[in-house]
Amino acid sequence: MTHMMRSSFPAAAVVVAVLLWPLAAAQLSTGYYASICPNLEAIVQSSVKQSMAQSQIAGPAALRLFFHDCAVKGCDASIMIVNSNGDDEWRNPDNQSLKPPGFQTILDAKAAVDNDPQCRYNVSCADILALAAREAVSQSGGPYYQVELGRYDGRISTKSSVVLPHVDFNLDQLNSFFSGLGLSQTDMIALSGGHTLGAADCTFFQNRIGTDPSMDSGFAAQLRNTCAGQTFAFLDGATPGGFDNLYFKNLQGGKGLLGSDQVLYTDLRSRGTVDYYASNPGTFFYDFTNAMTKLGRVGVKTAANGEIRRDCRTPN
């Protein structure tokens, strides 16, 4: 009997896995809206283009928004919810540095999509976030990649659910956070390359100036100067609006802005990947794309536990 159970269990497990497969993992596909909203990608592309023309913060902020959405309760646009009782993800201190133009980019893209009668109320905010992130990357000179679609929007957003990586994390802490999302160290390093775009408030790196031996001394002097005159510095000072692999070259020169950036070079376990991306931009682009796709699969909701939100700020 024991023997029979042992030998029949794997077969039963396979049957169960095959039966559950469509429910568990197969809801995302690149052609999800082909008949529902055939012009979706063109609509989002042109809307994000307009947002990026209006504000240089729009693209970087939209990319970061996608990360902060997926990392907390999955890619379900819960970061967009504004609860009247004041308890929602975006009001958590870790999300207070998300920039308004990022949110506006998503709301404008959603309005543009809903302006098409065929698409109206048929496209989730979570999918618009994923598409807008791709547009932010590709319209800044980064890779264009196919985005898997078919996410449903969540109904729940609370301050207390927000757990995000911090700038003082070491490699083990970064790896443990990202492995919780099903992402590898290589995925984490590639995604950190998103810091080729945008800026960080001086409060996030000021304590490293003059104290962190991994920071280049000329860079430290430059940052001291920058923060004396303004409140922020660009994450990749040479090309803050261009998606490229300079971020990794900066790390090689001790010019990573955040502690969590520079540690990727300081720690010998991740330095090899940084060196590789610094000299192989094509591989960085490829791995970034791959990692964004994996990030986009985190905690995806279905019709069973989600909805297509009409207004991205409020559950239906």
Asked if 174 touches ligand HEM (CB under 6 A), the answer is yes
- Do residues 198 and 64 make contact, with C-beta atoms less than 8 angstroms apart? yes
Q: How many angstroms from the chain centroid is the CA of residue 255?
A: 23
3-state secondary structure of 199: strand
Of 123 and 258, which has the nearer Cβ to ligand HEM?
258
Flag whether 267 is marked binding.
Answer: no
Asked if 199 touches ligand HEM (CB under 6 A), the answer is yes
40, 61, 132, 298: which one binds ligand HEM (CB under 6 A)? 61
**CA-CA-CA-CA torsion sign (241, 101, 289, 183):** positive
73, 99, 134, 255: which one binds ligand HEM (CB under 6 A)? 99
Strands 199-201 vs 232-234: parallel, antiparallel or unpaired: antiparallel
60, 143, 296, 306: which one binds ligand HEM (CB under 6 A)? 60
From the candidates 68, 110, 151, 255, give the one annotated as an active-site residue: 68
Tell me the DSSP string of 263-305: HHHHSHHHHHHHHHHHH-HHHHHHHHHHHHHHHTTTT-B-TTT
**CA-CA-CA-CA torsion sign (186, 189, 192, 196):** negative
Site string for ligand HEM, 215-254 (x = CB under 6 A): --------------------x-------------------
3-state secondary structure of 1: coil
Flag whether 116 is marked binding.
Answer: no
Q: Examine the residue annotation and report whether 68 is marked as an active-site residue of this protein.
A: yes
**Catalytic sites, residue numbers:** 68
- Binding residues are 69, 72, 74, 76, 78, 89, 165, 195-196, 236, 239, 244
> Which residues in this chain contact ligand HEM in the complex, by CB under 6 A?
57, 60-61, 63-64, 67, 97, 99, 165-167, 174, 191-192, 194-195, 197-201, 204, 235, 258, 260
